[in-house]
A and B are shown apart, each in its own frame.
Chain A
Amino acid sequence: KAGVTQTPRYLIKTRGQQVTLSCSPISGHRSVSWYQQTPGQGLQFLFEYFSETQRNKGNFPGRFSGRQFSNSRSEMNVSTLELGDSALYLCASRSLGGDYGYTFGSGTRLTVV
């Protein structure tokens, strides 16, 4: 079956702009999480969505937001971009139940100039 699909793969934005990233989970996976990866801070949890509801949120400013649609696809939005938002943004999906398997997408590389 198809894996986790993230679009776009690469983005270049200017400071102050906003950006929307998309994630399509594995078919049947209803939970979607987002992570930010930077050389300085490593992998940090942003938020998790299940059934269109945010269940958990990491320690990020309110400029970072997300949502999940009824088909489980998810988007994250970053407003008023800062240079420090340059990162690889990774989406992971999982099925609920005993597997606890998190499958990651290839990520979106965001560069803020």
Chain B
Amino acid sequence: GQQVMQIPQYQHVQEGEDFTTYCNSSTTLSNIQWYKQRPGGHPVFLIQLVKSGEVKKQKRLTFQFGEAKKNSSLHITATQTTDVGTYFCASGGSQGNLIFGKGTKLSVKP
């Protein structure tokens, strides 16, 4: 079945440094969604990518969907303490199930 693998599992950065998390699948994905979960909170939708090679930006966040639609990345420029949390990619399969990766936990040192 559909599965997405995320790396790294943890990332510790100094405030102001950049951060990237990667999401990979062995199968072609129909789309990829990204969520952020703050400590003690619930996942919150960030964005959805659908097209091959798609790139979307939200302020300091840049999301990419690979040409083969088997991988995706989230890049944060100049991290801030408010970026702390766990970032999940989720695959919305053709049957509608939303399957999450294990997430990348980001900590930011001020």
- Co-complex (A, B): no
**Could you list which residues of chain A lie within 8 angstroms of chain B, going by C-beta atoms?**
none
**Could you list which residues of chain B lie within 8 angstroms of chain A, going by C-beta atoms?**
none
